[in-house]
Amino acid sequence: MKIWDPLHECMPREDIEQLQLERLQATLNRVYKNVVHYRKIFNEISFVPEDFQSIEDLKKLPFTTHEDLESNYPYGMFAVPLREVVRIHSAPGTSMKPIVVGYTKNDIRTWANLVARFMVAAGVDRDDVVQISFLYGLQTGAFGLHYGAEAIGASVIPTSTGNTEKQVMIMQDYRSTVLVCTPSYALKIAAFMEEQNINPHGLALRLGLFGGEPWSEAKREEIENRLGISATDNYGISEIIGPGIAGECACKSGLHLFEDAFYPEIIDPETKRVLPPGSMGELVLTTLTREAFPLIRYRTGDITRLNYSPCDCGRTLVRMEKPSGRTDDMLIVKGVNVFPSQIREIISSITGEQPAFQIVVDHRPTLDQVELQIEITEKIFALELNEQRQLLDFLKKRIFSVVGLTTTLRLVEPGSLSRESKQVRHIWPDNSV
């Protein structure tokens, strides 16, 4: 099994800790100097970065939350002047404004090398033809994966998302060997090929690198069987860097977290206490090498656990379990992150009212379907049919443009959604509706 960066992926624990301490100290000195937000919150607790002596001291520092990033919109959290930023991406916020994330030239290079690590770990090499079916745009996914595959020297096909027929045609004709997309899209491709009587074993496809949304072992088995490939998981969040935080090796027993670049902690989301190694809790990350957008103790909202035992592949990096849930009500549908609060804000900005609503996610079809149910109000009821349709169309477009999600809309009777009912309802395959 090949290793992209053996120096950093196979370091003895003692050396990793020394490097983490050095990089933490440097990062803290830099954010204190360059980021107003951190200077303020450090001053509030009378913490001076030059007093930082051990990784243990990190526990004394405040967390960085999603709200901190939102209130510093757009450039408040940048640690370098904008002219040193060569790329700007964004992550969804809980309101209509996104979170803005910057990268310096070095950040982009670091990113490529981190992605290359898990790609090589999954078995990708320079002879591969890598088809990237993530959306190229404001989101981080496609670009990070693209750079990683290029760094390895593979041939990259930036197919972006959509148009399954064309995706499959490219896969057949260009002889793609690696598919990079969300796990649910992989299943959609599988379903399309079955429909068209295309034998997946007749393709050159051998590996699938899936991420962007949580997926189960059962789903892995299904994808592997239906596409005839080996499927691995990788983890990333846009606020930190995008893909390239952690990824599975061929052992498929946890995602190696790149500890020389990100320092992980697991906390109890309620008490906010750091939990002992091996406990299940919320993942908190501190960046160790980011130049433009360093974050200290960022609460990811993802529930997972860390396994420090050595892996058969030879990497010494800690392994994180597939995230098994969220601490907040964020939804991940088709690789898109959605906060119900975003939907609430869009509805009220367009209707001028705050009707009760529910987001219904139907997991039964291959690709999750989202229906937004809104209680009809007197104002909407009084509209002419034509105007009502226009309103709904507008709402749909607005949701797509802000959140990036296609939904169907349904007006329901007033009072049919009780105020107490959850904002999100899931329909799983084995549930009765």
Partner 1 sequence: MLAIKNVNTFYGQIHALKNVSLHLSRGEIVTLIGANGAGKTTLINTISGITPPRSGNIIFDGLPITSFPPHRIVELGICQVPEGRQIFKTLSVQENLELGAYLHLRHRGGSKIYRKTVEEIFELFPVLRERRKQPAGTLSGGEQQMLAISRALMAHPKLMLLDEPSMGLAPLIVKEIFAVIEELARRGGTTILLVEQNAKAALKIADRGYVLETGKVILEGSAAELEENKEVKRAYLGRDRKEIWER
**Residues of this chain that bind partner 1 (CB under 8 A):** 15, 18-19, 21-23, 25-26, 29-30, 33, 49-54, 75-76, 78, 80-84, 104-106, 109-110, 289, 291
Which residue lies nearer to partner 1 by CB, 258 or 339? 258
DSSP state of 266: E
Which residue lies nearer to partner 1 by CB, 24 or 283? 24
Which residue lies nearer to partner 1 by CB, 1 or 82? 82
Cα–Cα dist 372/393, whole Å: 12
Q: How far is the CB of 36 from partner 1 (least distance, A)?
A: 10
* DSSP secondary structure, 194-253, as one string: HHTT--GGGS---EEEE-SS---HHHHHHHHHHHTSEEEEEEEETTTTEEEEEEE-TT-S
User: Strand 369-375 and strand 357-362: pairing?
Assistant: antiparallel
Which residue lies nearer to partner 1 by CB, 109 or 426? 109
Which residue lies nearer to partner 1 by CB, 79 or 245? 79
Q: How far is the CB of 103 from partner 1 (least distance, A)?
A: 12
- Beta carbons within 8 Å of 5's beta carbon, 6+ residues apart: 113, 116, 117
Cα–Cα dist 203/177, whole Å: 8
Which residue lies nearer to partner 1 by CB, 36 or 204? 36
Q: How far is the CB of 95 from partner 1 (least distance, A)?
A: 21
Q: How far is the CB of 77 from partner 1 (least distance, A)?
A: 11
Q: How far is the CB of 423 from partner 1 (least distance, A)?
A: 35
Q: How far is the CB of 286 from partner 1 (least distance, A)?
A: 15
Q: How far is the CB of 292 from partner 1 (least distance, A)?
A: 10
Q: How far is the CB of 110 from partner 1 (least distance, A)?
A: 8
* DSSP secondary structure, 337-395, as one string: EE-HHHHHHHHHHHHSS---EEEEEE-SSSS-EEEEEEE--HHHHHS-HHHHHHHHHHH
Residue 47, burial from CB neighbour count under 10 angstroms (0-12, 13-18, 19+): middle
Q: How far is the CB of 83 from partner 1 (least distance, A)?
A: 6
Distance of CA 238 to CAs 43, 132, 143, 342, 366, Å? Answer: 28, 17, 11, 18, 25
Q: Is 94:70 a contact under the CB 8 Å cutoff?
A: yes
Which residue lies nearer to partner 1 by CB, 51 or 217? 51
Cα–Cα dist 220/41, whole Å: 43
- Beta carbons within 8 Å of 40's beta carbon, 6+ residues apart: none
Distance of CA 341 to CAs 117, 329, 372, 396, Å? Answer: 36, 9, 13, 16
Which residue lies nearer to partner 1 by CB, 59 or 422? 59
Which residue lies nearer to partner 1 by CB, 63 or 75? 75
